[in-house]
Amino acid sequence: MLLLSIFLNLAVAILILFLSYNSPASQRKKYYWLLAMLLLNLLIMVYVFNQRANTETRHLLGG
C-alpha cells in the first residue's frame, strides 16, 4: 500500500514537472508549490507507516 502511494506520488510529481517545464515562468511558482506539497505528503506517509510498523513490532516483541 505504501509502495503504491509512493509510485502514485512520483507519477504526479513527474507530471507536475512536465507541466511546469512547458508553462510560462509566471505559472511555474504554482507548480513548485504543488511539488513541495506532494513531497511533504510523501514524507508524512512514510513517517506514519514507519510509526505503525514500529508499534506492531513492539507488540510482537511483547513491549
For the chain, the structural domain boundaries read: 22-63
> How many Å apart are CA 53 and CA 63, to the nearest integer?
14
Q: Can you give the pTM of this predicted structure?
A: 0.60
45 three-class SS: helix
pLDDT at res. 9 = 82
The Cα 15–Cα 57 span in angstroms is 37
pLDDT tens digits along 21-56: 877 877 878 888 888 888 888 888 888 888 887 887
Amino acid 63: pLDDT? 56
Looking at residue 24, what is its pLDDT? 83
Ranges of beta strands (E only) in the chain are: none
Per-residue model confidence as pLDDT tens digits over 1-23: 677 877 888 888 888 888 888 77
